[in-house]
Structure 1
């Protein structure tokens, strides 16, 4: 077959869908401003930045830019030959900027064909920028570095609608030099945090290597400069390097992701989705996830429990789906990629942020259900739980596959915890979306706060009962992200607050995750300070001492020591650091003037209730000031110094690993 014939077959068979572009980056570096600029070229002046809670994007938003507007924008580029593209448009996903939304960004990453990573060209990389690059690399998603806020370069002269390539070359030499300095700073940061080389797109696009290179596009979303450059680079990269994913295969089962669910007056249950694969039609069956597991249509037309699409609505023009209001049109069918509103009667409480499928009667529902259950399993696996023996907090998956698994020696297996079980107490987490739930669990795991229950949906009475069963005050949080309690629960909580009635847990509710976590951090600190200042605090604090090779009396033994860490007190036992866990004896006195305590750095004589001999104390031998069993359980509520923490880590090891006292230090973590 001739090459011409091959080319003709490709032209006939290959139809491309819109590339899906994840817009990600650090808070305040301009993601939402860029999307506002995009919508402005379509005549829609919606200001999403003003709508976002706290100015931070909380969920994924979808904006579709049709091909006619892309062509119009790209034609303003200073090219001799105008570029041509096959894509029917571009779909942009606005992803959350706070670092805790890694799991939601992961979800958008799994949807996206390409990403744009927005960086304030003056500020450079931030923690969220670095995390975004890591997520994009893990998902093998090509990305473009957008150097936004180029107008912040001193004396930069912006012009709305101008190409940033053209603008860069039209600046004065000293301004270009300053812009270059910021660019080279970014180049170094990209090299430090990824495997890629960075190149200005107009210099690197012809020799671009997807495995080694990433392109840089300067722009100013605020001044409207450089948008056409970005659109050009997106289409060039997507159609060349993500082409296989863009090709439409008619035989694929339709699927997408749920962005929102609501009851609408006069309409009923509706969901907003992004359709990522296939074609859907009015009357098609639906399969989706709930807290109880997957739900699917039975494919029997007379079945009153059937779950099928009653209507399909598309936002008119370039309206951002979350701002569409009444700007929708009804259609009989829609193909990927598209942001859509579906009306589906009898739909149960669907997981917002989860996958949704549209199977045909010939599709294998059993295999589909197996795939769908994995999504719920991921939440279960990543939930932070506490080990019943060592009381470490780790994900459920780590607990079962590493921590208690003898086949994982050297990879996380703990010998003393082989027979451990998961402790079923801790925080209760509720969230409006699947991704939000994942994000909260991620944050709690970082803070070593275990959970007893987590699911999508409003707070209910069962959640209150569960949190009341939690014993540790540092874990006693009922957390609600972007949801509230049902009416009865909210009324009870408000009534308790009004009457100043003490509620035996902390109810932390809000729409922005990092504010919730800041509040939890403050509450934990308050709980610890209260415990440390209470009268029933620990009798002894952890310490480490060293024998100074000088003795003054044999019976009872009096010898010199240096306090290396923490503080020792009269009455405190001294633990040997020789692998036996034995107690040397008890301190009877300190110093020569009746002191009761010696602090870190001091060298003092101590009297111990043993007979001194060279057989029971060696030169430079190390001992630990022991903490009583009952006091060890209070340490989780005590603020320890860094050196006290180091000493107590070793004391806990002696009790748990050598003496096999697994309840010692319950709940304490450094």
Structure 2
């Protein structure tokens, strides 16, 4: 079980009573969900900060320090949230119900789309989940480095990468982004490239990225932190004491342990020996916590 409430106490140099925003990463299989998280984790490891990254089952905790280091001088000031908690949802169609649970749990979402392939069946399914749960989201238009003639600037902000591209490459990217804008419009969303948006409450931001080279990833992280800070503060208020409230991601049998629940705890506290009530498809299940494990 992942005790989020006990970790979400401090932002960089500033006390905060905000918990870590939960960000679900959704999209079609092979469009780059796990690669994106690997890039964020790997960059932190390369900076000697492996100890700050906690890899849980299906979730990655990224403290604000790591986000700030990735973004460098482009990072905003006076950020109160403690970081970001990413949930990597399975992309295969067999995991539809788990993706749906992830969507309902999330404060924010990243819908990752291969900019060269566009919308695919699981992209559309993910979009319908986000729409149903009214989850704010941004679109990560991935694999821009695969456009023919692309010049890579590793881990660079999007604006910096764009400056070194030829006019032809820029035009191809713009065309593909406008195709995504058109697809989103079909499903009832106004969208545009993120740096052309003045009101993120009305328009979905599309962030061109490469999960492989890291280009555009600083922009994506800054937007997620900015959206959480500006629009979700009321939802992120933390009560670090009192009964625990969480969401179950997965139920499984662990050898030597028996039935184990992977849980995101987003308010209050859990202790071994506590009585908990778990919703099931039939009737509520009342049981006791035998042990709390952090993988």
Using structure 2 for the length normalisation, give the TM-score: 0.82
Given the alignment, which residue of 214, 229, 234 partners 2:224?
234
Question: Deviation digits for residues 119-166 of structure 1, max 9, x if unmatched?
Answer: 001111112212211211111101101000011111111122211232
Question: 1:100 Cα deviation (Å)?
Answer: 5.3
* Alpha-carbon distance change, 101 to 276 in structure 1, aligned in 2, over 3 angstroms: same
Question: Deviation digits for residues 515-558 of structure 1, max 9, x if unmatched?
Answer: xxxxxxxxxxxxxxxxxxxxxxxxxxxxxxxxxxxxxxxxxxxx
8 Å CA contact retained: 1:264, 1:270: no
- Residue 286 in structure 1 maps to residue 286 in structure 2: no
3-state SS, counterpart of residue 86 of structure 2: strand
Aligned to 1:41: 43
3-state SS, counterpart of residue 222 of structure 2: helix
Question: Deviation digits for residues 53-86 of structure 1, max 9, x if unmatched?
Answer: xxxxxxx811111122112112253x7xx43421
Separation in 2, partners of 1:173, 1:288: 56
Separation in 1, partners of 2:87, 2:93: 17
3-state SS, counterpart of residue 204 of structure 2: strand
Aligned to 1:314: 294
- Residue 68 in structure 1 maps to residue 65 in structure 2: yes
- Residue 213 in structure 1 maps to residue 203 in structure 2: yes
3-state SS, counterpart of residue 98 of structure 2: helix
3-state SS, counterpart of residue 279 of structure 1: coil
Question: Deviation digits for residues 263-321 of structure 1, max 9, x if unmatched?
Answer: 344x6664332112222234433233568743325xxxxxxxxx2343x3434xxxxxx
- Residue 150 in structure 1 maps to residue 144 in structure 2: yes
Aligned to 1:97: 91
8 Å CA contact retained: 1:114, 1:242: no
8 Å CA contact retained: 2:63, 2:83: yes
Aligned to 1:138: 132
Question: 1:115 Cα deviation (Å)?
Answer: 0.4
Separation in 2, partners of 1:126, 1:188: 14
Question: 1:38 Cα deviation (Å)?
Answer: 2.1
- Residue 274 in structure 1 maps to residue 255 in structure 2: no
Aligned to 2:190: 197
8 Å CA contact retained: 2:271, 2:289: no
* Alpha-carbon distance change, 188 to 252 in structure 1, aligned in 2, over 3 angstroms: farther
Question: Deviation digits for residues 476-495 of structure 1, max 9, x if unmatched?
Answer: xxxxxxxxxxxxxxxxxxxx
Separation in 1, partners of 2:72, 2:29: 32
3-state SS, counterpart of residue 45 of structure 2: coil
3-state SS, counterpart of residue 294 of structure 2: strand
Question: Deviation digits for residues 174-228 of structure 1, max 9, x if unmatched?
Answer: 211111111111111111122x221222221xx2141x21001111112222221
Instruction: Provide structure 1 residue ranges, at least 5 long, that are not aligned to the other structure.
Output: 1-11, 45-59, 298-306, 316-670
Separation in 1, partners of 2:131, 2:37: 24
Aligned to 2:51: none
8 Å CA contact retained: 1:169, 1:176: no
Aligned length: 271
Aligned to 2:53: none
* Alpha-carbon distance change, 141 to 256 in structure 1, aligned in 2, over 3 angstroms: same
Question: Deviation digits for residues 366-389 of structure 1, max 9, x if unmatched?
Answer: xxxxxxxxxxxxxxxxxxxxxxxx
Question: Deviation digits for residues 341-392 of structure 1, max 9, x if unmatched?
Answer: xxxxxxxxxxxxxxxxxxxxxxxxxxxxxxxxxxxxxxxxxxxxxxxxxxxx
8 Å CA contact retained: 1:116, 1:144: yes
Aligned to 1:127: 121
Separation in 1, partners of 2:193, 2:30: 23
* Alpha-carbon distance change, 124 to 268 in structure 1, aligned in 2, over 3 angstroms: closer
Question: Deviation digits for residues 2-43 of structure 1, max 9, x if unmatched?
Answer: xxxxxxxxxx99611111011001111111211221221232
8 Å CA contact retained: 2:240, 2:267: no
Using structure 1 for the length normalisation, give the TM-score: 0.38
3-state SS, counterpart of residue 135 of structure 2: coil
Question: Deviation digits for residues 582-608 of structure 1, max 9, x if unmatched?
Answer: xxxxxxxxxxxxxxxxxxxxxxxxxxx
* Alpha-carbon distance change, 76 to 247 in structure 1, aligned in 2, over 3 angstroms: same
Q: How does 1:394-405 map to 2 (within 5 A)?
A: none
Separation in 2, partners of 1:244, 1:260: 30
- Residue 187 in structure 1 maps to residue 189 in structure 2: no
* Alpha-carbon distance change, 118 to 72 in structure 1, aligned in 2, over 3 angstroms: same
8 Å CA contact retained: 1:76, 1:163: no
More displaced stretch, 278-287 vs 235-244: 278-287
* Alpha-carbon distance change, 272 to 98 in structure 1, aligned in 2, over 3 angstroms: closer
Separation in 1, partners of 2:146, 2:253: 41
Q: How does 1:228-627 map to 2 (within 5 A)?
A: 228-250=218-240, 253-258=243-248, 259-265=250-256, 270-289=260-279, 293-297=283-287, 307-310=288-291, 312-315=292-295
Larger gyration radius, structure 1 or structure 2: 1
* Alpha-carbon distance change, 233 to 209 in structure 1, aligned in 2, over 3 angstroms: closer
8 Å CA contact retained: 2:107, 2:136: yes
